Chain A
Amino acid sequence: MASLRLTLPRHALRQTCLPTLHPTLSLPQTRKHSSVSADELTHFSALASSWWDPMGPSRILHLMNPLRHEFIASCLAEGSPSPTTEPRATLNYLDVGCGGGIFAESLARTIPLNTNTAPTPTLAATMTAIDPSTDLIRMARSHARNDPTVDAHLRSGKFRYLNTTLEDVIAGTAPTTTESSSPGSSSSQDLSQNSNPAQYDIVTLFEVLEHIDPKTSTPLTFLTNCLKALKPGGWLIGSTISRTLPSFLLNQVIAEAPWPIGVVPRGTHEWSKFVNPDEVKGWLQEGLMRVADSGVYRGGRAEVEGMRWKCVGAVYVPGIGWKMVKGSEDWGNYFWAVRREF
């Protein structure tokens, strides 16, 4: 059975989207020390209009989304960030690079509306989703309003879309209200949360790592920042694509072949920017040591030796869908997770 591996349609719609449609495209968030590439920002903003179209170029991503929930559940089963043993909806999530909110919105849907209802498998209590693209955040907020549950969470502040960068969240300079224009959505109690960057139980990084701008940032500093946002005991969970010969064949040759073989538009993938599992693991080891650094103590072997690292490949088979396949992480898409120990 031929299996195709696909990734975020990065340059999808490049041919179909008229550049004149976005004269007001705003890129104010690209700051000096941001990991965000202006190129990527332009590209993803252009994708905004089709982001939530179930048959559009982001379809493969939509189909992958349930697997993210399963992977998170498997991480939580391995080690809960909250010290209490009984499962309760207490976890604070941060979704970095939320885009149009495919994952963020689905996670927000699992936040219980009132405290006496049973917790969901994600144990989510709050969700903060950040993306540097103003257009995507606006679109994500607008889509979230189509679901009364998610809309209620947006209004109560349990679910926030912030048009900011990870660097700003770490520095504590991110805007704290979800939408300045929206009445009734003021969440003043959240102001205190942002003063301490290490406030999240789960930081998610789905299909983001391969979009780091090498000119302004490196995956290492970016991942270190993600770890800084984690509470001890929390999980950093992500997914990306490996840079191997099979992934080149499947992503570049088969998946982008002309219709009817190919399922993603030509120019979607940039194979050279993909990252391999051992690279991610290496950066995370270094990141864990840096996070442990303090004035009097330098992180070292102790941080690395106890490192809880999970990695599992995911395969897309046309007609069947996404499946997790152990050992397939070298072929293309894979999920990874690391825990910041207590």
Chain B
Amino acid sequence: MRPISRAVLRPYVCPTCRHGIGAGQRRFASKSDPLDIYDVVCVGGGPAGLGLLAALRSSPITSKLKVALIESQDLNKAKAWNLEPTQFSNRVSSLTPSTVSFLREIGAYDHLDTSRVQDYQDMQVWDGQTGSRITFDWSMETSPFENPRTVATMTENANLVRALLRRIADSGDENLSLFSNSTVASIENGSDLAPQGPNLSAWPILTVKPTTPTETTAAPKRIAARLLVGADGINSPVRSFADIPTQGWDYGRHGIVATLALAEPASPPFPATKRTAYQRFLPALGGPIALLPLPNNHATLVWSTTPENAAYLKSLPTPAFLAMVNAAFRLDMTDLSYMLGLPSSSDSTSTSPSHQDELAWRAQHTSIPPQIPPPATAVQTGTVASFPLRFRHAAQYVSPRIALVGDAAHVIHPLAGQGLNLGLADVASLSKTIQYAVSHGMDVGDLLTLERYSCERYLPNAKIGGACDLLHKMYNVPGEGPITWARSLGLGVVDSLPFVKGFLMKNAEGY
């Protein structure tokens, strides 16, 4: 916890003790700098921060709260974001049905460009080591005569951010302030404004500065927050101010992302709208490779692997990169390890065989499982990128007048695609908590208010994050051995017991 004087947390101090405490307190504030008082100040304009703002604006109970959002990027640019229908950003997230219903509830889903959004109804997950497989779909819950139920919805983050910004802009009035291109220069505790004003000594006061040099003439603004929400990512400044520690580790893995174009599937899907996501665990290579569907036969790639493999893959020329992606869904661990050792240069004078030739030759001698994605045929230029995989969990989500949401509170392994969903679930819970507080005369920044949010979210986040961590560790044991047998047995058991699978899916999707 940040150092708040005891006198603030417990405002009554008996007369004999009062002499000692009051001495060091700042008794005045410079009257020259104006101080704006907000009910909710959100630092960070990512999906979580914008989601919170949109949720607060959409509820009649909280729509009159004075709210502010501070984002270092240009929000106008994000609002005007546009791409060709055949181009897709490489930052893509899967939204679970409960996240989608939250977005519908707050009126943001209507602003999403649905031609750039892809539902999928089937998910094939298999073990590259043992070949054991699990199929996730809702067929055990629905009758064969209705349309297959959606497992998740793929959307570009930019599309989601734009939708949330449009939703917020729709609700704009004098109670809403968006500080775009602005950073938080400092956060400090306020002071007692006696005798003219209230005692703000437990309130966080932010100094907001524009980032662009052209606007440096504008004086930094000082704003006081009844509730300061940290939606400011893994290195959250709000969390540092609140002095909340985090536990966690780096996985020593990188995730490679890319936007791919796929070949036409060998057999057309039935029903025609049915789309499938694929994930294959590659224990010898350090993590799973996943191919998630996007509209118009495109797909987004997420390949978790060691930093060395990631650097090698990123250095490959496009045809070789595509060959590696296709190989990763088809070939054995030994073949893949061999191909990762081939020279990466595209030098035509090189005597060694190319990745494409290796794939073509080795695929003939491998028994290829029936459920694999169609081959990737092209990479959208400039979309191959990588990011480090980490696990973090804040020791607590709340502190007096502080709440953490999204990555500021927890960062998890992306293998189940749950990160953004957990963040938006935090936001849904926090906005409900704020609604409850407002309608019951509670102070939205009070610990008694915020503990409702923290109670609701801490365990579910720890559960999902822990499950992803466990899966990552289990699927990083290469070769044959007890763990390998256990996981293939486990996967087989789960796949053949519909009720266990249904339970797992409901848990993962937040039903």
Task: Please report the C-alpha to C-alpha distance between residue A54 and residue B442 in the assembled complex, in whole angstroms.
Answer: 13
Chain B nearest CB from A213 CB (Å) reads: 24
B10, A49: Cβ atoms closer than 8 Å: yes
Q: Which residues of B contact A281 (CB under 8 A)?
A: none
Q: Beta-carbon contacts of A190-215 to B below 8 Å, as 1s and 0s?
A: 00000000000000000000000000
B198, A66: Cβ atoms closer than 8 Å: no
On whether A69 and B441 interact (CB within 8 A), knowing A142-B11, A146-B202, A148-B198, the answer reads: yes
Segment of B13-21, B371-379, B402-410, B421-429 in the binding face: B13-21
Residue in A23, A62, A143 whose CB lies within 8 Å of B11? A143
Q: Beta-carbon contacts of A8-52 to B below 8 Å, as 1s and 0s?
A: 000000000000011110000000000000000000000011111
Chain A CB within 8 A of B37 CB = yes
Chain A CB within 8 A of B145 CB = no
Chain A, interface size: which category?
A: 35 or more
Chain A CB within 8 A of B249 CB = no
Task: Please report the C-alpha to C-alpha distance between residue A242 and residue B400 in the assembled complex, in whole angstroms.
Answer: 35
Task: Please report the C-alpha to C-alpha distance between residue A117 and residue B64 in the assembled complex, in whole angstroms.
Answer: 9
Q: Which residues of A contact B199 (CB under 8 A)?
A: 142, 145-146, 151
Task: Please report the C-alpha to C-alpha distance between residue A219 and residue B200 in the assembled complex, in whole angstroms.
Answer: 41
Chain B CB within 8 A of A109 CB = yes
A147, B448: Cβ atoms closer than 8 Å: no
Q: Which of B8, B196, B446 has the most CB of A within 10 A?
A: B446
B441, A145: Cβ atoms closer than 8 Å: no
Chain A CB within 8 A of B197 CB = yes
A66, B14: Cβ atoms closer than 8 Å: no
Q: Which residues of A contact B194 (CB under 8 A)?
A: 145
Task: Please report the C-alpha to C-alpha distance between residue A50 and residue B9 in the assembled complex, in whole angstroms.
Answer: 9
B448, A62: Cβ atoms closer than 8 Å: yes
Q: Which of A66, A121, A135, A138 has the most CB of B within 10 A?
A: A66
Task: Please report the C-alpha to C-alpha distance between residue A121 and residue B60 in the assembled complex, in whole angstroms.
Answer: 12
B440, A146: Cβ atoms closer than 8 Å: no
Task: Please report the C-alpha to C-alpha distance between residue A182 and residue B436 in the assembled complex, in whole angstroms.
Answer: 33
Chain A CB within 8 A of B340 CB = no
Chain A CB within 8 A of B269 CB = no
Q: Which residues of A contact B447 (CB under 8 A)?
A: 54
Q: Beta-carbon contacts of B11-40 to A below 8 Å, as 1s and 0s?
A: 111111100000000000000000001000
Chain A nearest CB from B245 CB (Å) reads: 20
B198, A147: Cβ atoms closer than 8 Å: yes
Chain B CB within 8 A of A3 CB = no
Q: Nearest chain-A residue to B199 (Cβ)?
A: A145
Chain A CB within 8 A of B439 CB = yes
Chain A nearest CB from B289 CB (Å) reads: 42
Chain A CB within 8 A of B382 CB = no
Chain B CB within 8 A of A253 CB = no
Q: Nearest chain-B residue to A69 (Cβ)?
A: B440
On whether A53 and B9 interact (CB within 8 A), knowing A62-B448, A117-B64, the answer reads: yes
Task: Please report the C-alpha to C-alpha distance between residue A63 and residue B452 in the assembled complex, in whole angstroms.
Answer: 11
Task: Name the interface residues of A50-80: CB closer than 8 Å to any CB of B.
Answer: 50-54, 56, 62-63, 65-66, 69-70
Residues of B in contact (CB 8 Å), total 33
Q: Beta-carbon contacts of B35-49 to A below 8 Å, as 1s and 0s?
A: 001000000000000
Chain A CB within 8 A of B443 CB = yes
Residue in A50, A100, A106, A182 whose CB lies within 8 Å of B440? A106
Chain A nearest CB from B125 CB (Å) reads: 36
B197, A146: Cβ atoms closer than 8 Å: no
Task: Name the interface residues of B439-470: CB closer than 8 Å to any CB of A.
Answer: 439-443, 446-448, 451
Task: Please report the C-alpha to C-alpha distance between residue A90 and residue B215 in the assembled complex, in whole angstroms.
Answer: 46
Chain A CB within 8 A of B85 CB = no
Chain A nearest CB from B443 CB (Å) reads: 6
Q: Which of A21, A49, A139, A148 has the most CB of B within 10 A?
A: A148
On whether A21 and B14 interact (CB within 8 A), knowing A54-B447, A69-B441, A110-B441, the answer reads: yes
Task: Name the interface residues of A162-199: CB closer than 8 Å to any CB of B.
Answer: 182-184
Residue in A21, A52, A100, A182 whose CB lies within 8 Å of B195? A182
Residue in B14, B17, B37, B451 whose CB lies within 8 Å of A148? B37
Q: Which residues of B contact A62 (CB under 8 A)?
A: 448
Q: Which of B9, B13, B195, B439 has the most CB of A within 10 A?
A: B439
Chain B nearest CB from A32 CB (Å) reads: 28
Q: Which residues of A contact B200 (CB under 8 A)?
A: 146, 148
Task: Name the interface residues of B161-217: CB closer than 8 Å to any CB of A.
Answer: 192, 194-202
Chain A nearest CB from B307 CB (Å) reads: 44
Q: Which residues of A contact B436 (CB under 8 A)?
A: 66
Chain B CB within 8 A of A284 CB = no
Task: Please report the C-alpha to C-alpha distance between residue A110 and residue B14 in the assembled complex, in whole angstroms.
Answer: 30
On whether A151 and B197 interact (CB within 8 A), knowing A66-B440, A118-B64, the answer reads: yes
Chain B CB within 8 A of A91 CB = no
Chain B nearest CB from A313 CB (Å) reads: 19
A70, B440: Cβ atoms closer than 8 Å: yes
On whether A145 and B198 interact (CB within 8 A), knowing A21-B14, A49-B10, A50-B10, the answer reads: yes
B441, A109: Cβ atoms closer than 8 Å: yes
Q: Which residues of A contact B201 (CB under 8 A)?
A: 146
Q: Nearest chain-A residue to B452 (Cβ)?
A: A321
A147, B15: Cβ atoms closer than 8 Å: no
Q: Which residues of B contact A138 (CB under 8 A)?
A: 12
Q: Nearest chain-B residue to A59 (Cβ)?
A: B448
Chain A nearest CB from B399 CB (Å) reads: 12
Chain B CB within 8 A of A122 CB = yes
Task: Please report the C-alpha to C-alpha distance between residue A225 and residue B154 in the assembled complex, in whole angstroms.
Answer: 66
A66, B442: Cβ atoms closer than 8 Å: yes
Q: Which residues of A contact B446 (CB under 8 A)?
A: 54
Chain B CB within 8 A of A94 CB = no
B195, A148: Cβ atoms closer than 8 Å: no
Chain B CB within 8 A of A6 CB = no
Task: Please report the C-alpha to C-alpha distance between residue A52 and residue B443 in the assembled complex, in whole angstroms.
Answer: 13
A151, B198: Cβ atoms closer than 8 Å: yes
Q: Which residues of A contact B439 (CB under 8 A)?
A: 69, 120-121
Chain B nearest CB from A306 CB (Å) reads: 31
Q: Which of B194, B197, B442 has the most CB of A within 10 A?
A: B442
Chain B nearest CB from A331 CB (Å) reads: 24
Q: Which residues of A contact B17 (CB under 8 A)?
A: 21
A122, B441: Cβ atoms closer than 8 Å: yes
Task: Please report the C-alpha to C-alpha distance between residue A146 and residue B4 in the assembled complex, in whole angstroms.
Answer: 13
Chain B nearest CB from A196 CB (Å) reads: 27
B441, A107: Cβ atoms closer than 8 Å: yes
B448, A53: Cβ atoms closer than 8 Å: no
Q: Which residues of A contact B442 (CB under 8 A)?
A: 65-66, 106, 109
Name 11 A/B residue pairs within 8 A (Cβ), A-sorted. Answer: A49-B12, A52-B9, A52-B12, A69-B440, A110-B441, A122-B441, A143-B12, A146-B201, A146-B202, A147-B226, A148-B200
With A106-B441, A106-B442, A183-B195 known, 8 other A-B pairs at CB within 8 A are A65-B442, A66-B442, A120-B439, A135-B12, A145-B199, A146-B202, A148-B197, A151-B197
Q: Which A-B residue pairs are the 7 nearest by beta carbons?
A: A106-B441, A139-B12, A151-B198, A66-B440, A148-B198, A145-B199, A143-B11
